[in-house]
Structure 1
């Protein structure tokens, strides 16, 4: 069953960019200047197996009805009235503006299912703006990057939830197949490591053919090469990358470009395999690469390559202790003993990738989160600061990929990092979140009796 969607919002938040992304063609003009779009523009959009009529609208502005801006607004209101659902877009980097609040009220009065799209969410600096969008009262914001095509799987899920009748065929097919949206598309996996760690050899062994150049020389791989693989009904898209050395040691322009390309592949991946040489594991550069992956918020798997060369069994048993010591921010990260040359451990590696991807996408309901929070704060209350107790009122999960949580508290600046680590360990243990980055955002609730903020 087809349906229609109207993209609305204030000027220059990226409506036309999203329109072009969903229709698959550059039909709408896009420019940094606000107000480029004036008329309603329609096109046939597609997202996964959903097809719909999509309407791009002019930026909403307060203006006299007879003026050009007023007539543009009239076109937008007509599109809202004709649509089955509304995509209300904000700029996550800029945060909410009074204009966003004013037009959120207009959209709310329309009584249509509304999805809040927090666009330009590709960087960590945009997280606060996306979280701030809860204040619109239009539901959970969906972080996306229309420019880079990120977050569209979350938009797919939200459309299915908002329009169950129109999307029933697709969701019924999912239930019959006992598969989620991610099962239908490949898991994007980047393989990173130092030069000559065996990345290309590993991917060749997974493919069963010599698809990538390999050899004893370090630095053979320059471009990030993408190859597809199917294993036990799951599809993967693997990215082979150039070896990453310390930045101070890189003086060749080609190597600099190769390193930048490898880091770009990491940013677009969902799971990253950090491949270590079994004869020299957990060197400084291995830890730097792992830290980059963690800070980027990707799921991570440690590959202990060339394990067939290790004869001392004590080395293998010590790895778990070393991983948790050197990478406490992803405690419990999976470690796979493997050999790209002989094929040892490859099934275990792919199992670990699938499991890490599942945990990275996990969502936890607010009620069990707050039961956990109550038990955790009862057992170990936040420390008092200057004789005043810090109160943590409640928490919610703002997004997945990686799991990110918002803590609403009385004094956000007074909660020490050690207490956040305590809560992080508790979340891992209670909800089964080993080996993925966990992020917290602290928010203070406004005091209704504080008149110092009054104008």
Structure 2
């Protein structure tokens, strides 16, 4: 049975470093700048044979005024609420600070299973801090070095004991129910439904990874919260709140969807600070791991240069793209604005002709269902496979309607086409002189594929190869 372990503490004590160490990957951004982490991030932690849900949190700030720091504190308090085990981390070299003491009081009131973790404990410089840590009232501190992997055996024991305690509670609860008279037992509604024959098991279909990208302050985090049904990630009027790419699992019908909220991506020339560069790199990695990408535009400033560059990046990565025009509630003449948006999309992004364009208001929840439907629809298009026979009938018709041009007095012959793969749809065409086939004729073929086989809005790959049809058996030499 798994447990949820939350790593908490004041800023810059090494929480994200320990998080990355236990999940085995650099999921969380790490920098010497205090306050890098702002949202709570979940991952699967592993120590030896144990696996558990691990939660990284923002550095605890004593703020209650509605500021960004106060909203960060609320995220940390939510992590404490859902956790089974809390690793309260301090910096052993810095010793106990007033903020550590204040946080310790809050944790004692929570009634949770709290363990004091003294990070950066390698070397004698940490000895005074380890002795001072007893004053926090959580018993003997566990010395660790998140950076060097020291102290993991003690963390293994903490998690193992928590798992055993939870399993014992479940056994006691089951025995208590079993010993009750049948008419006194509590029967959950789901159990009644099962007795009536209703199938409540959900289809374990492969999760769909959806990245939400865009310029700063386009409303990405607000949209993710709307889909999650809770304030899962930080939002606010400040631009650039999100730094890490945060994955938020949600359930759309019977489908598991992993939404990834990313940092706002500005033009490269404007990105100067190291921390913002790390955030942008994290967002770009989210695009590479996604299957569907939702590009958020601001309805009051749509299709700026950075928007077009992001859309082009998604196309080059081969991901399915949806344009979500946010803040649509601020637009007055909606019909005229929508017509202008569609014209700009076709003109400025011809490589993604016919891509879905959905107008939404993440703040008010308008057209969210339409966006969800568009995600599923374009995922199916992205996975389309067309039979070779149908492709070659189409190719024959295309070449008859518009034959390849003659280059240097010699006509090019297109002999055969097949689909090499999906995700995105990718095709190979064999012809007599592949190097001489003009780029304009390739675009003619790609546009024909898009129109005929309903591949609107997804990237299409077309490779031209030389030689005869490789699938026709050659006559054996006598």
Map 1:123-272; keep pairs closer than 5 Å.
184-272=205-293
Partners of 1:348 and 1:184 in 2: CA distance: 22
Structure 1 match to 2:343:
321
Deviations 1:296-354 (A, max 9, x none): 00000000000010011301122111111111001000000001100001100010000
Structure 2 match to 1:339:
361
Deviations 1:32-61 (A, max 9, x none): xxxxxxxxxxxxxxxxxxxxxxxxxxxxxx
Partners of 1:439 and 1:416 in 2: CA distance: 16
| Alignment partner of 1:393 is 2:415 | yes
| Alignment partner of 1:375 is 2:392 | no
Secondary structure of 1:441's counterpart equals: strand
Question: Number of aligned pairs?
Answer: 268
| Alignment partner of 1:442 is 2:464 | yes
Partners of 2:337 and 2:232 in 1: CA distance: 32
State the shift of 1:235 in Å. Answer: 1.8
State the shift of 1:280 in Å. Answer: 0.4
Deviations 1:232-267 (A, max 9, x none): 222210000000001111111110000000000100
State the shift of 1:447 in Å. Answer: 11
Secondary structure of 1:219's counterpart equals: coil
Secondary structure of 1:295's counterpart equals: helix
Structure 2 match to 1:348:
370
Partners of 2:314 and 2:398 in 1: CA distance: 29
Deviations 1:152-177 (A, max 9, x none): xxxxxxxxxxxxxxxxxxxxxxxxxx
Runs of 4+ in 1 over 3 A off after TM superposition: none
Conserved in 1, the CA contact under 8 Å of 2:225 and 2:233?
A: yes
TM-score, scaled to structure 1: 0.58
Secondary structure of 1:393's counterpart equals: strand
RMSD of the TM alignment (CA)? Answer: 1.6
Secondary structure of 2:411's counterpart equals: coil
Partners of 2:350 and 2:468 in 1: CA distance: 34
Map 1:114-129; keep pairs closer than 5 Å.
none
Change (3 A) 1:205 1:315: same
Structure 1, unmatched stretches of 5+, are 1-24, 26-181, 449-455
Tell me which structure has the larger Cα radius of gyration: 2
Partners of 2:363 and 2:352 in 1: CA distance: 28
